[in-house]
Amino acid sequence: SFGPPGSGFASEKLTDDDAKIIERVKGVDMVGKLITKSSKTEFHNDVRYTFVSGMPTDKTRRVIEEMQSFEVVQGRNLKSSDNYKVVVGELVSKGELYDKEVRLRDRITIKDKEFKVIGIMGPIGNPIDDKSMIIPYDTAKDLFDMDEITIIIVQTMEGVDINQVAESIKKDLRRYRNVDEGEEDFKVTTFEQLMTSFQTIFGIVQAVIIGIAAISLLVGGVGITNSMYTSVLERTRDIGIMKAVG
């Protein structure tokens, strides 16, 4: 993962400029960006807070979808011409966020703006994700007045050395941010390192790690995240992993 090491200063955050630097690194095939924020939402006068994510509507969306296990099973996914449209998690549609079930074509208010429900996601594997909502990336930036990216996922080209790509990303970001080696205000972690962390922290069996690693190869090699969200993301992802394997 890539992000500030926890200090929380405004200058130490992921931005579109960081993503552009990463896109130019040799061996990088595609860069996916995601904005995620806890937001006030309302449905039939029932007010609840949940995570709302801004998802790209171009081809880079695939990188995020594969990493986050997003799949629309009812209705349709977001497209480039959408603005105030929303895809809701499985548990939202089943009435486990609001008092009532949410259906296609219903209207949900997110931060005082009305969104039309166009899609429902399949189960991801943990309540936080399954009660979340997805809106277009640019709409989320405007709605939340954010110039900060929560997660960047990098898909590497086939056959490249993932660790070398990660080192190249570090080098280019040090140059861009004008910091010396060893004094970085960011971190870069490969999926292999992330899986090792899971094993160390949560004691996941080796067979599960191997299975997940095989899936991760389809996505690519380098995950880039905002560290202020990392602990939540890693914990919820692990819950989903453990639930999936019993």
Q: What is the pLDDT of residues 38-65, one digit of tens each?
A: 999 999 999 999 999 999 999 999 888 8
pLDDT of residue 198: 57
Which of the listed residues 144, 172, 195 is the one where a domain comes to its end? 144
pLDDT of residue 126: 86
- As a whole number, mean pLDDT of residues 19-27 equals 92
- As a whole number, mean pLDDT of residues 139-155 equals 89
Q: Is the pLDDT of residue 238 over 70?
A: no
**Do 160 and 227 lie in a common domain?**
yes
pLDDT of residue 236: 42
Q: Is the pLDDT of residue 103 over 80?
A: yes
- Pick from 13-22, 30-39, 191-200: least confident: 191-200
Residue 212, H or E segment: helix 206-219
**DSSP assignments along 7-39, one per residue:** ---TTSSB-HHHHHHHHTSTTEEEEEEEEEEEE
**Do 57 and 129 lie in a common domain?**
yes
Among 89, 54, 96, CA closest to 74: 89
Average pLDDT, the chain: 79
Q: Rounded to whole angstroms, how far apart are CA atoms 174 and 18? A: 11
- As a whole number, mean pLDDT of residues 152-175 equals 87
**Do 137 and 162 lie in a common domain?**
no
Which of the listed residues 125, 144, 163 is the one where a domain comes to its end? 144
- As a whole number, mean pLDDT of residues 62-79 equals 88
- Domain count of the chain? 2
- As a whole number, mean pLDDT of residues 115-131 equals 94
**Do 44 and 134 lie in a common domain?**
yes
Q: What is the pLDDT of residues 171-228, one digit of tens each?
A: 998 898 888 888 777 777 777 776 676 556 555 444 444 444 444 343 444 454 444 3
**Do 134 and 166 lie in a common domain?**
no
pTM for the structure as a whole? 0.74
Structural domain that includes position 134:
33-144
Question: Which residues have a Cβ under 8 Å from the Cβ of 155 and sit 6 or more positions away?
Answer: 28, 29, 30, 31, 32, 63, 219, 220, 221
Instruction: Report the Cα 170 to chain-centroid distance in Å.
Output: 20
Q: Would residue 7 count as lying in a domain?
A: no
pLDDT of residue 64: 83
**Do 180 and 135 lie in a common domain?**
no
Which of the listed residues 144, 166, 201 is the one where a domain comes to its end? 144
Three-state secondary structure call for residue 6: coil
